[in-house]
Structure 1
């Protein structure tokens, strides 16, 4: 199912918002959400309020405890809620968007 609202870290006109807005498919609105603190809860809240929209988030990995190498695609981001895995969106492969020379996403779909 295509995503119509994509939350990302940062503020209006930040590098994250500008780059992601330039590469998402038409019909997908990029919305900055500020810091990653409470990011998951804001996505879940958005899904509850906007039942006619498909909402996901795209998160940096800065300050995460993950030193794995890039593998040429975003990583799925899930949380466990009531014993069930709930898809929230994706993590960038690298630590922050500023580490990308060029980015290509071929459609934002849950898989």
Structure 2
């Protein structure tokens, strides 16, 4: 949602110039970073709680991060398996939940109109 908003804002900024909108990788990374920063902590906590990852873990709502993250990825994955022992969802299932999800496509004008009509009903 936040990324789409940033993308639309970029399109609006360039609309008056009558030029093709060019978004490079840096623009994309910056928009993704801004979008991620806009996601409230409660949203993330609720997602993890809904999946069962936080059923036995208490979350403290404070922003305390160390400057450097020295925990190896393999250790984090092992710990994720331990936290999720009372659920039927494995860590791999969670990570790969959207692996078959289409993340791009070309929409026709008719597709866009149908999508907009669907949002308005």
Higher relative contact order (CA 8 A, sep 6+): 1
Into which bin does the TM-score normalised by the smaller protein fall?
A: under 0.3
Normalized per residue, which structure has more helix?
Answer: 2
